[in-house]
Amino acid sequence: MALSCAEMIDEIQARVGRPGTTVLIDTTFLTRRINEGQKTIAEQISLIPSLVFKNTTSLDTTGTITYNLSDISAGDYTSQPVCHVTDVWYLDGNETRRLTFKPTDEFDQEHPDPTHSDEHFAKPAQWTLRNRTIEMYPYCASSYWNKNIRVDGDFYPREFSTDSTNTSDISRSDEGLILYGVWQAWKAIGIGTPGVQVQAIEAEKAFSNPEPSYGENYGWLEQFRNENEKLIAWSGNFYDNKIF
């Protein structure tokens, strides 16, 4: 059963030997660190299943090529902003198409001014992401207006309020958030105390250790990434595209 923010705070304080403390690593400090941990996990690992969304209603093709990610509803809560975008689609029944992603520099080299009247306006075909804004090309001809844009990706988990009794939107992340909190707690305790800094280093490796030395293990973050990057389903036949 998932732990609440308050329960994770209790566990962090216990692991650093300061249970119930109201000094330095108090509930406010640790709630902030747990929120940082959630953000770090979401940004470091794309498409964690519990954070994945598909939005087909927030955006349409009418009169624009730019779409701010803040205009996209993601998850079950309106306050959850988009973290990663993985796919953009033009939706129109049998005319639906998946737009091709272009890195921003390539997009700009090919389409320096997509809305200029000299450009060929047509059905959208490409997209890029610039400063949390989706841009598409070509500018949508009016005959293709009023069609929905589908956006796939994942969202940031809800932030906890201080000492909250809610659980994380990231499934099975309790241990990782505790380890992140323990690391940050030892860092705070160890400021100016060389002997404690060893504890902080070990706690950091417990959370994330992407290049373990001989005899060490990968950190929780790397193991969690490996678990979440497993394929849900797979067909060994590359030509098996039948629809049943």
Same domain? For 130 and 198 the reply is no
Same domain? For 142 and 57 the reply is yes
Determine, yes or no, domain membership for 190: yes
Give the closest residue to 157 by CA, choosing from 70, 69, 77.
77
Specify whether the CB–CB gap between 63 and 144 falls below 8 A.
no
- State what percent of residues in the chain have pLDDT above 70: 91
Q: How confident is the model at residue 240 (pLDDT cuts 50, 70, 90)?
A: low
Give the integer Cα–Cα distance in Å for 138 and 212: 47
Question: What pLDDT was estimated at residue 38?
Answer: 98
Give the integer Cα–Cα distance in Å for 126 and 204: 41
Question: What pLDDT was estimated at residue 223?
Answer: 96
pLDDT, mean over the chain: 91
Same domain? For 148 and 56 the reply is yes
Per-residue pLDDT tens over the stretch 131-178: 999 999 999 999 999 999 999 999 999 999 998 999 999 999 999 999
Determine, yes or no, domain membership for 161: no
Which residues, in sequence order, are CB contacts of 67 under 8 Å at separation 6+? 59, 133, 134, 135, 136, 149, 151
| Stated pTM of the model | 0.88
Question: What pLDDT was estimated at residue 236?
Answer: 54
Q: Please count the structural domains in the chain.
A: 2
Q: Give residue 10's domain range.
A: 5-46+170-228
Determine, yes or no, domain membership for 165: no
In sign, the C-alpha dihedral spanning 51, 158, 39, 65 is positive
Residue 78 confidence (pLDDT) above 90? no
Same domain? For 106 and 183 the reply is no
Same domain? For 78 and 101 the reply is yes
Give the integer Cα–Cα distance in Å for 26 and 219: 25
Q: Which of 85-94, 111-120, 225-234 has the highest mean pLDDT?
A: 85-94
